[in-house]
Amino acid sequence: MLSLMPIQVLETLAEMRALPKRRPRAVVMTMGALHDGHRALLQSARKWSGVDGELVVTVFVNPLQFAAGEDLDRYPRTWQQDLEMCEQEGVTAVFAPRVDDMFSVGRDITLDPGPLGEILEGKARPDHFAGVLTVVAKFINLTNADAAVFGEKDYQQLALINRMVQQLEIPIEILSVPTIRDADGLALSSRNQYLTPQERQAAAVLPAALSAAVEVAATGGGAEDAVVAAEKELTANELVVPDYVVVTDPLLGPAPEHGDARILIAAAVGGTRLLDNAALHLETR
């Protein structure tokens, strides 16, 4: 049985700091517009903290991770539905601070993600990961959580958060959850709402590209062959403009000759940037 305590909505940093911690506490950080991918994170966090444990969800569209001209102003906001999902999943408290409260003490100190923040998404969005890490670190401190759960959907973000926590000795356990997908394989994302019906259909080439690469790797192809197979699928639909298709090792270093690897892709569908990734096992000998 989950606790019958009503969900607490915390709107200020002072309220968050004042929330007494009586049991192990897990946190799930989101930008709202919650979908079943977020739900999987909530369930994993609840499993970690236990039926009597505490589960805090942050809802904050972080302006530091958006560049000028990106979708900050039109990012979907579905507060009532978000709250309903949190209630269904037995969330203890939802922390949804206002931007001015979050940064009332200033925002000139930021975290430098290092070289791993300059490749892939970091290349396309130069200050993105500095903004992500700064706010993730701030939420770790504010929520005083013992564990935090992130999605593999944002694989580079997950890798950077793991690195940050390790290198800065931040006392928190990081857990991850595999990507939750729609029936046709498209990774769930709040940004899928931007797609027209035609674009939504076209977007299915992203998971198809990953599947093609996984297949090639499993049947003896190398990293390059996997990339070629994925690119072929991605370019099959004219509404899809690939940005990158890259195979790396699981920590985003150079692709191995054989063994565990990761394929990461980004593509624009209409005006919407979509990301996806998958584990590969390179069976080359």
Measured from the CB atom, the residue of 113 and 151 that comes closer to ligand AMP is: 151
Cβ–Cβ < 8 Å for 239, 202: yes
Q: Which of 10, 41, 203, 261 binds ligand AMP (CB under 6 A)?
A: 41
Of 226, 183, 223, 228, give the one whose Cα is nearest residue 203.
183
Piece in contact with ligand AMP (CB under 6 A), picked from 83-91, 117-125, 136-144, 186-194? 186-194
- Considering only residues 189 to 248 of the shown chain, the ones binding ligand AMP according to CB under 6 A are 189-190
Binding mask 146-185 for ligand AMP (x = CB under 6 A): ----xx-xx----------------------x-xx-----
Helix (H, G, I), strand (E, B) or coil at 21: coil
**Length of the chain measured in residues:** 285
Give CA 176 to chain center in angstroms.
10
Task: Tell whether residue 135 is a contact of ligand AMP (CB under 6 A).
Answer: no
Return the H-helix or E-strand segment holding 268.
strand 259-269
57 sits near ligand AMP (criterion: CB under 6 A): no
**Among 278, 224, 277, which Cα is nearest to 255's?**
224
- Interaction of residue 130 with ligand AMP, rule CB under 6 A: no
User: Taking Cα atoms as reference points, which of 16, 21, 41 lies closest to residue 31?
Assistant: 41
| Near ligand AMP by CB under 6 A: residue from 37, 90, 221, 222 | 37
Q: Which is nearer to ligand AMP, 151 or 207 (CB)?
A: 151
Interface with ligand AMP (CB under 6 A), residue total 17
Judged by CB under 6 A, the stretch of 37-45, 83-91, 134-142, 276-284 that binds ligand AMP is 37-45
CA atoms within 13 A on the CB side of 59: 26
Nearer to ligand AMP, 40 or 216 (CB): 40
* Neighbouring residues of 80: CB distance < 8 A, sequence distance ≥ 6: none
10, 16, 26, 38: residue in contact with ligand AMP (rule CB under 6 A): 38
38 is catalytic: yes
Q: Cβ 84 to ligand AMP, closest distance in Å?
A: 16
Q: What is the CA radius of gyration of the chain?
A: 19
Coil, helix or strand for 174?
A: strand
Query: Catalytic one among 35, 38, 128, 281?
Result: 38
For residues 140 and 264, the answer to whether their CB atoms sit within 8 Å is no
Distance of CA 215 to the CA centre of its chain: 25
Catalytic residues: 38
**Site residues (CB under 6 A) for ligand AMP?**
30-31, 37-38, 40-41, 150-151, 153-154, 177, 179-180, 187-190
